Structure 1
Amino acid sequence: MIREATAALLAVPLLLPAAAPVRWELDVMDVPEAHRVSQGENITVAVLDTGVVAEHPEFKGRVSTGPDLIGGGARPGQSYWGAHGTAMASNVLSVAPKARVLSVRVIWDEEDPARERYEQALKNWTETGTADDAYLESQRALAKGIRYAVGQGAEIISMSLGTDEWGAFQPYEEDVAAAVDHALGKGVILLASSGNGGSTSRLDTEANNVVSYPAAYAGVIGVAAMAPGGQRAGFSQVHTYTSISAPGVDIRSALNTGGYEAVHGTSPACALAAGAVALMLSRNPDLSPRQVRDILVRTATKPEDGYTVFLGHGLVNADAAVRAAGVAKGARIEAVPYKGGEYFGKGPVDSPITHPPISRTYMIAGGVGVGVGLLCFAGAFLLIRRRRA
């Protein structure tokens, strides 16, 4: 999430209005139309983030709090506890107002002193190859959070985070990849922000455009950020793991200290997309992760050039996605009986049981040949011994 003014917004536009009305993100995603059919009833979205201030008036009892898996000493009520997570929870619920949010704390807020200590530990690790066990343990928080959310029955996991927040020691983590596979195997839909390092400005210190996990894990829906004019937001990272895009500029979000502010980033884009998925699953809870992704891709508002690495397959259209979800048949995973012939292809040329008799002529000729060979070997052996004598 970015609170400052964004860099110049790049091209690859969608055919959208240039002006940005109040709550433009909901209008451009056709959320009001989708609400006529679904508002996210009976769906739980796990927000893996910095914690959520559940008492904010925005939530009205719709947020439950899970464990703090990252630690670090921060507590609810402090300015650096739950700033990012509270904003993301409000973005999810702005799209799916009747869904529930499960908050699981797996990363630190930007102002958290624990983040500074972590960055120092990272520097030591870079220079010496060793790091404090407490900070190495922080790398496991995301994997634990995914498994916890699955165990609690969450249908959707929203991860508005990336490599810079949790994976600095090792961007690709085997335990996180295994947790993602576990969640997908349970039918849980996972979404992650594509990252905020996509700026082309040399003055932007975050302009790294590195591959960002968990968005880059197979099976996770990577979400890019779109600007009001329909272009990629200038900070949104550019990679092939981006599946779709959602609004990511001037997004009205709840503050952990009360009230609201406008935020920017692929973080709110991911949370808004997760809300749209909640609408889909409320309409049809039998959808598989692959079906959800396919519907989002098929119903998205497409860029002029079709798929691009800037905006993926296009902007999430909540109304079209919900309607498509309503008529889709739930996926069934089962063995399909084989209805073909007795053999694959043409089968064996001869019978697998009988074969023609072996020719006696070949057997006699082979035996004679072996006998002659043995005699020659014996004669050569005797000649060599006589010469030595």
Structure 2
Amino acid sequence: MATSTFTETHHHQHSQNRFSVIPTAERLGASPKYNGRGVTIAFLDSGFYPHPDIADRIVAFHDIHGEENRCDAAAEPQPHQWHGTQTVVACAGDGRLSDGIYRGLADQADLVLVKVAQQGRITDDSIEKGLQWVIDNREKYGIRILNISLGGDIDAMTNDSRIDRLAEELVEMGVVVTVAAGNSAETHPIPPANAPSVITVGGYTDQNRFDPNAFDLYHSSFGPTADRIVKPEIIAPAMYVAAPILPRTNDYHVAELLSMLAAAPDYSFRPLVQEYWIEAGLNADVLNMDDEAVRKIVGYGLQRRKVVATHYQHVDGTSFAAPVTASVVAQMLEANPDLLPAAVKNILITTAERIKNSSAIRQGYGVINAKKAVDLAEAEKHHFDPNVHHPPRRNGASLRFSFHDDSARSVNLVGDFNGWDPSGVSLERSSNGFWYATISAEHKTRYRYKFLIDGHRWVEDPPHGMKEEDGFGGFHSILDVN
């Protein structure tokens, strides 16, 4: 593998500071049983640096434009490497530079890094070439997951977007694709985040607190896409996510010095300030202030730079919600390697929990539940082939519906076509573990519908992306019979 590793030579502590954020595993209440071992995750991003938290698990690096032949720690770090490095470490870093505190949930996964920026710029053509490379090399490296924390320039329907078509092809090949929804609540997701089969991830914030009542929505892109598919499917942490500061940069050095000053005992604080105040980015006024005032300024410097530990800062954006989701998927696939992408997606959305009193369309099925998703993945025995689990499928004058819930005792199809009669159309459980029903589709019209589980639990159709808010914090699934 063409990488060289950056080696730490200093001897200072890697401890958190008073502005530290909750580690991802604790924040999500994740399963401690799995760490992504045996799972290969690919990342499509602007560029990468072989950070110590990931360097020894990079099995492949490819620059589609040929600007960089290797992921090289000996070379001068470049600005385009920052974003990709942070997304990978948020997903799969082992926390080496934080004494294991800020590790990703997939800290033992193998990594394939695909650089798509050219002179720092990413075009639709670059994304297409990156996706094609992953398709061509999927088997060679055993890629099971692809994370994409970037987006194209052009909004288009899936059939008109080569980016979307390539993303769909990867899912058909068995690769779970997680995509950042985007960070503008004024726009809907565009390629590849609008591809129907990918897992589009929006964001939420927990205000850096262990309190579900503090959860609030991030300003993610959302809404019906050009294909009228509602995105995102789920939301994951998009604020207060720990990520590395790019090594061998001025920001890295300043964070080291400010962290050292913040941790210094009183007897050595003044001498250290006198020696390092310039390098630490402090004003000369600190030389004439008392120690308490200088400590406040040092603390303000850490807070302003979002430094949460000596070599980490907190970041925000759906660019980080997506790889956090990918890390949960890696745990799911380690727990059950037979899962297909449709099963992974079904498990994630059926175990997610919506933030109460918040817009459903902005959060999809809600906050990712890492522990429940992994537990359900571990127990799942059914094969989610597209032929057995699918959105409503027309066959002549009839429509076939499918549903999956191992815990269900009865499933009824209820909607406009039967006046929302709770007795509805009964689905029958097949030997393959799925529920099915067929209804007449002779009239060209638009229906709203839901499934009623065990006579009391209403759910929308998980694999069917066409939905509208139902006024009760959820969705109606929409069936356009044309």
Report the TM-score when normalising by structure 2.
0.53
For the pair 1:39 / 2:31, whether they are aligned, the reply is: no
Q: Secondary structure at the match of 2:42?
A: strand
Query: Given the superposition, is the C-alpha separation of residues 150 and 179 from structure 1 closer, same or farther in structure 2, using an over 3 Å criterion?
Result: farther
Alpha-carbon distance in 1 for matches of 2:382, 2:358:
28
Counterpart CA distance in 2 for 1:69 and 1:278 is 25
Kept in 2, the 8 Å contact 1:146–1:180? The answer is no
Q: What is aligned with 2:190? A: 212
What CA distance in whole angstroms lies between the structure 2 residues aligned with 1:145 and 1:106? 10
Alignment-mate amino acid for residue 236 of structure 1: S
Alpha-carbon distance in 2 for matches of 1:295, 1:218: 16
C-alpha change, 1:280 and 1:168, in structure 2 (3 Å) is: same
Larger radius of gyration: 1
**Cα distance in structure 1, aligned partners of 2:148 and 2:353:** 23
1:69-148 correspondence runs (5 A): 69-70=64-65, 77-93=76-92, 94-107=104-117, 113-115=119-121, 137-138=125-126, 140-148=128-136
Maintained 8 Å contact 1:209/1:237: yes
Is 1:238 the counterpart of 2:216? The answer is no
Task: Note the alpha carbon deviations across 1:147-191, whole angstroms, 9 max, x for none.
Answer: 14524321001111123xxx3497966432332232122211011
Residues 46 and 149, structure 1, Cα contact 8 Å, conserved in 2: no
Structure-2 change in CA distance of 1:300 and 1:241 (3 Å):
same
Q: Cα 1:70–1:195, aligned 2, differ >3 Å: closer, same or farther?
A: farther
Q: 1:58 aligns with which of 53, 56, 69?
A: 53
Tell me the residue number matched to 1:184.
171
**Cα separation, partners in 2 of 1:170 and 1:285, compared to 1, 3 Å:** same
Give the Cα–Cα distance (whole angstroms) in 1 for the partners of residues 203 and 386 of structure 2. 37
Q: Mark the runs of 5 or more structure 1 residues left unpaired by the alignment.
A: 1-19, 119-134, 199-207, 337-389
Residues 2-41 of structure 1, C-alpha deviation per residue, up to 9 Å, x if partnerless? Answer: xxxxxxxxxxxxxxxxxx973254323112xx02x21111
Corresponding residue of 2:350: 298
Read off the aligned partner of 1:178 and give its amino acid letter.
R
Could you tell me which residue of structure 2 aligns to residue 375 of structure 1?
none
* Structure 1 residues 335 and 209, CA gap change in structure 2 (3 angstroms): closer
What is the CA–CA distance in structure 2 between the aligned matches of 1:21 and 1:297, rounded to whole Å? 30
Whether contact under 8 Å (2:342, 2:385) holds in the other structure is no
Give the match's secondary structure for 1:87. helix
CA distance in 2 between partners of 1:74 and 1:48 (Å): 16
Instruction: Pick from 225, 233, 238 the counterpart of residue 248 of structure 1.
Output: 238
SS at match of 2:338: coil
What does residue 150 of structure 1 align with? Answer: 138
- Which is bigger in relative contact order (C-alpha 8 A, separation at least 6)? 1
Q: Residue 106 of structure 2 contacts residue 327 of structure 2 at CA under 8 Å; is this kept in 1?
A: yes
Question: 4+ runs of 1 displaced by more than 4 Å?
Answer: 70-76, 168-173, 332-336
Give the partner amino acid of 1:254.
Answer: P
Report SS of the residue matched to 2:62: strand
How high is the sequence identity, in percent, across the aligned residues? 25
Check if 1:286 corresponds to 2:338: yes
Q: CA deviation at 1:331?
A: 1.0
Q: Give the CA deviation at 1:315.
A: 1.2
Residues in 1 aligned to 2:126 and 2:246: alpha-carbon distance in whole angstroms = 23
Partners in 2 of 1:222 and 1:140 — Cα distance?
A: 18
Give 1:209 shift.
Answer: 1.4
Higher strand share: 2
Say if 1:310 and 1:335 are closer, same or farther in 2 by CA, change over 3 A: closer
For the residue of structure 2 that corresponds to 1:101, the secondary structure is: strand
Partner residue, 2:412: none
Partner of 1:29: 28
| Cα distance, 1:57–1:39 mapped onto 2, change above 3 Å | same
Q: Residue deviations 1:318-347, cap 9 Å, x none?
A: 1111110011014164989xxxxxxxxxxx
Q: Partners in 2 of 1:282 and 1:306 — Cα distance?
A: 33
TM superposition shift of 1:136: 7.3
Judging changes above 3 Å, is the alpha-carbon distance between structure 1 residues 191 and 169 closer, same or farther for their aligned structure 2 residues? closer
- Indicate if the aligned counterparts of 1:106 and 1:145 stay in contact, CA closer than 8 A: no
SS where residue 201 of structure 2 aligns? strand
State the one-letter code of the partner of 1:61.
Answer: D
Provide the rounded CA distance (Å) in 2 between the counterparts of 1:247 and 1:72: 33
Task: State the distance in 1 between where 2:155 and 2:373 align.
Answer: 38
The Cα shift of 1:226 comes to: 0.7
With over 3 angstroms needed to count, the CA separation of the structure-2 counterparts of 1:307 and 1:274, relative to structure 1, is farther
Q: Aligned pair in 2 of structure 1 residues 276, 321: CA closer, same or farther (>3 Å)?
A: same
Secondary structure (helix, strand or coil) at the match of 1:85 reads helix
2:148 to 139, 143, 159: 159
Residue identity opposite 1:154 in structure 2: I
**Structure 1 position 194, deviation (Å):** 0.4
RMSD after superposition: 2.9
Q: Which runs of 5+ in 2 are unaligned?
A: 1-18, 93-103, 207-213, 224-229, 249-310, 389-482
Give the TM-score normalised by structure 1: 0.64
